[in-house]
Amino acid sequence: MIKKLLLAIMIALPMSVFAQKFAVINTQQLMESMPEIKTINEQIEAANKKYQDEFSKLQEEMQKKYDEFQGLEETTPQTIKDRRMQEMQELDNKIQQFRQEALNDLQRQQQQLMAPVQEKVVKAIQAIGAEGGYTFVFENVMPLYTGTDVTDITDTVKARLGVK
């Protein structure tokens, strides 16, 4: 009885594997061709420019304080030197904190702007996958081998999204 069941499974398994359809897609190429991505990149670049300008101002302020510190006479009391050094350390901490907050904010902005585009792409891929009866749709970044029975649906998804 068990032998018959195992034999039936061994016969049915290869048939079910052959009935599956697979597809690949290059989402990087797809995303780069979308006009929304250009707009998002421009918005992120504009925000990055504002942060760079502010960062430059902070660095100029730091350089000014450093130059003033270097220009102190040797007869300047140590407490004044210590206070100036502490001011520079505090400014350096502010610069580091600003840099981290700016980086976090840019990442957050990019995620927020990209979320609707990514959702749109995923829905299009799912729709094409369902229409084509594909069992799996894989990312086609660096395939080592793609058989003739695997369909590249990148252009089909682009057409669905209305991009070239």
**Residues 6 or more apart whose Cβ sits within 8 Å of residue 15:** none
Q: Say how far apart CA 106 and CA 91 lie, in whole Å.
A: 22
Q: Say how far apart CA 5 and CA 49 lie, in whole Å.
A: 68
Average pLDDT over residues 137-149: 76
Sorting pLDDT into bands at 50, 70 and 90, what band is 162?
A: confident
If you ran DSSP here, which 8-state letter would residue 142 be given? S
* pLDDT top residue among 99 and 136: 99
For residue 13, CA distances in Å to 1, 4, 5, 117, 133 come to: 18, 14, 12, 39, 19
- Which pLDDT score is estimated for 164? 78
- Which pLDDT score is estimated for 114? 94
Average pLDDT of every residue of the chain: 86
pLDDT, tens only, 109-141: 999 999 999 999 999 999 998 998 888 888 887
pLDDT > 70? residue 49: yes
Q: How far is CA 64 from the centre of its chain?
A: 37
Q: Helices marked H in the chain — which ranges? A: 2-18, 27-32, 35-70, 78-132, 154-161
C-alpha closest to that of 153 among 20, 17, 38, 21: 21
Global pTM reads 0.70
pLDDT > 90? residue 146: no
